[in-house]
Amino acid sequence: MRLCVFGAGAVGGYLAARLLASRQHEVSVVARGEQLRAIAAGGITLVTPEETLVVRPALVTDRAQALPPQDVVFVTLKAHSQPAAAQDMAALLGPAGTAVFLNNGIPWWWHHRGPAVPGEPLPLLDPTGALWNAVRPQRALGGVVYSANEVLRPGVVQHTANNRWVLGEPGGGLSQRLRVITGLLCGAGLNAEAGPDIRTEVWAKLLRNAPMNALCALTRLPVNQLAFEPALLGMYEAVIDEVAAVAAAHGADLSDRIAVAKSAPRLGAAVDGRAAPVIRPSMLQDTVLRRGMEIEPILGQVQAFARAAGTACPVLDLLLPLLRGLDRSAGFTAACARP
């Protein structure tokens, strides 16, 4: 099959390296800037606790139009970067191609539930409907990823912990394309599974994503350091309770997952019950590097859903404007620093 990883950052670099190392498919990469130049020159170097490997994609480019039609496009761009790339994603998809979206938080296709419930775009995530109209939700699969990765330097990705990938149809159920794509990920050594209810899986990860990313970004502490400040731990657990309440108001029962989510700071963010090395969530990495953060899918849209359901979320209400201000400050400072 022809596979493309669209966005070769931390998760995308790890995914591309695993797919390439399996040598089962033709794998291309869409990247940009220093990452593009480094991969073109020396491939992708993946560093894990067990091994270091170097792999080269069939083609790496910043022009999606340079690639032939793809069977599967794995989109690992941050959610706020996706609308601007909608036309490029659409151009990559072959006649029966599928775009698998592997980003944190609520995805842009959320209101699509199949032909009977076509839905509509979410203004916070797809303001002009670019993804909805160009990529189209019918061609999308959702994905929830538990995998801690970081770009050490251009072309070099470090994998720290966790390896769980849950894919699902926006309309639910276990389709043939879902089974095929889940199988090819398993063939690359990823612990992938087909989920019949991807929305519940999205909510379940938000139990960790929302408090972990928000508090680590604001304090610049890695996950395991949050547990040393009781007030931070209290806020962490309060956000989990708020996300669970919003999820319940939208039909997702997460009662059996709350205790595990609350244990994450004490376990260094491991999802398998074991202590893990220091993990820096994506929003912490982004704010340190003065990059845009995935605030809206992880917190903003959750707040919007809370408002729609009449569900109180006072701690989330406090954290969200602080994060939006931090994001604006990072962008403003970076702009001022340009020659």
What is the set of active-site residues? 205
Give the residue ranges of DSSP H helices in the chain. 10-22, 33-42, 86-92, 130, 176-187, 198-219, 223-226, 230-249, 258-262, 264-267, 282-288, 295, 301-309, 314-337
Decide: 167 and 100 in contact? Cβ < 8 Å.
yes
Give SS3 for 232: helix
Gap between the Cα atoms of 299 and 305, Å rounded: 10
Label residue 98 exposed, middle or buried (CB < 10 Å: 0-12, 13-18, 19+): buried
Question: If residue 168 lies in a helix (H) or strand (E), which one and from where to where?
Answer: strand 156-168
Decide: 122 and 106 in contact? Cβ < 8 Å.
yes
Question: If residue 29 lies in a helix (H) or strand (E), which one and from where to where?
Answer: strand 26-30
Gap between the Cα atoms of 145 and 59, Å rounded: 25
First to last CA, the chain: 44
Gap between the Cα atoms of 15 and 94, Å rounded: 21
Among candidates 102, 46, 40, which has minimal Cα distance to 73?
A: 102
* Residue 291 φ/ψ, nearest 5 degrees: -110, 160
Write down the residue that tokens 């406090």 correspond to.
318
Write down the residue that tokens 């610049």 correspond to.
220
Nearest-10 Cα torsion for 250, 258, 261, 8: -20
